[in-house]
């Protein structure tokens, strides 16, 4: 399983990227809330 850190100041974009990767499977996704 690959670990991915999503970093962006736009919360909506972080959410979209995280959800897309999680639905694709094979990814563990974390977010940087204050990059």
What total of structural domains would you count in the chain? Answer: 1
Instruction: Give me the residue label for tokens 């990227």.
Output: 17
The pTM (predicted TM-score) of the whole model is 0.81
Q: The domain containing residue 8 runs over which residues?
A: 2-32
Residue-wise over 5-28: b if at least 16 C-beta within 10 A, else e? ebeeeeeeebeebbeebeeeeeee
pLDDT digits (tens, 9 = 90+) for 1-35: 999 999 999 999 999 999 999 999 999 999 998 76
User: What 3-state class would DSSP assign to 28?
Assistant: strand
User: What 3-state class would DSSP assign to 32?
Assistant: strand
Q: What pLDDT is attached to residue 33?
A: 81
Q: What pLDDT is attached to residue 35?
A: 62
């Amino acid at each position: 399983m690959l670990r991915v850190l999503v970093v962006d100041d736009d919360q909506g974009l972080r959410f979209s990227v995280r959800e897309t990767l999680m639905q694709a499977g094979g990814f563990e996704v974390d977010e940087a809330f204050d990059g």
